[in-house]
Amino acid sequence: MTEKLTLGKALNAGLRRALATDPKVVLAGQDIGKLGGVFRITEGLQAEFGEHRVMDSPLAESGIVGTSIGMAMRGYRPVVEIQFDGFVFPAYDQIVTQLAKIHHRTRGTMNVPVVIRIPYGGGIGAVEHHSESPEAYFSHTTGLKVVTCSNANDAYWMIQQVIASDDPYIFLEPKRRYHDRGEVDTDSEPLPLHSARVAREGTDLTLLCYGPMVKTCLSVAAAAEEEGRSLEVVDLRTLSPLDMATILASVRRTRRAVVVHEAQVSYGLGAEIAARLTEQCFYEMEAPVLRVGGYDVPYPPSRVEEEYLPDLDRILDAVDRSFDY
């Protein structure tokens, strides 16, 4: 069955299916019950499954995550919603020192299948602490897996896949894409969870992107085509672990690469990808890997956030620079 849903509604449908499939799945977070969350991702789920399955939590992120870790140790599969990306940091201690390490610390005898959903990124005109891109913090943490969807079909399937896994996951949701509509196939087999997706085929250069930047990069590829350049767009989907096989195969075909993300360029995912490409296919590339991202400043006020976020012109400029080498 195929239906057209927004990314947000697709997440809601995926969570509903996970709750219906496994009675050990529980949701927790601020205002996720009666209100359905700030972005209404959990709307209607408490009425359908009850307050013992979809729980409104106190305003205490460290407590929410800490309690969920305990529940996971007792056999449940908690799915935690962090209301906004910038609110995750009070729970950073619980995530990186407990959640990420329990499986290793117990020599593999204990699993903690906790999923932490984080709406992330900018572009919604929000106030301070509501437009962060914290993926590098968590991707750097051994023991955590980090994934992000960019479209409705991936949102529907990936949320179910991470909930079914025995590993702890950071599930990043591009909040400015919540209302983007797309086809969702609820019957066919989804892509494997830890695989990238070639969103558009090309021959001249690879744009490597994820989350909110996939739509932007597809627009860049369409604009570049008018100038006679064929750009391939790869949606990473999984940030830790990276699907290097797909990345390397694409870059070896096109021989050029630009990595795009909203987070600041310095010490970001783009640096890791550029390093790996340099190590593994240096002699096959025609130009160095270039990066486009946010500037090295705190996320700006909403009036000027469009100056901070990578856009079509900035990405096309990087494409042009790649061909100048």
Say how far apart CA 140 and CA 240 lie, in whole Å.
8
Instruction: Copy the structure tokens of residue 151.
Output: 């479209």
Specify whether 130 is catalytic: yes
Say how far apart CA 186 and CA 183 lie, in whole Å.
10
First-to-last C-alpha distance (Å) of the chain = 48
Residues 104, 105, 107: CA angle, nearest 5 degrees:
60
Say how far apart CA 15 and CA 1 lie, in whole Å.
18
Q: Which entry of 103, 130, 140, 261 is annotated as an active-site residue? A: 130
Say how far apart CA 201 and CA 283 lie, in whole Å.
23
The size of the chain, in residues, is 325
| List of E strands, the chain | 2-6, 25-29, 54-56, 77-81, 115-120, 145-148, 169-174, 181-185, 197-200, 205-209, 231-235, 238-240, 257-264, 290-294
Contact in structure between 238 and 195 (CB atoms under 8 Å): yes
Reference 241, options 272, 268, 263, 213; nearest CA is 272
- The residues carrying an active-site annotation are 130
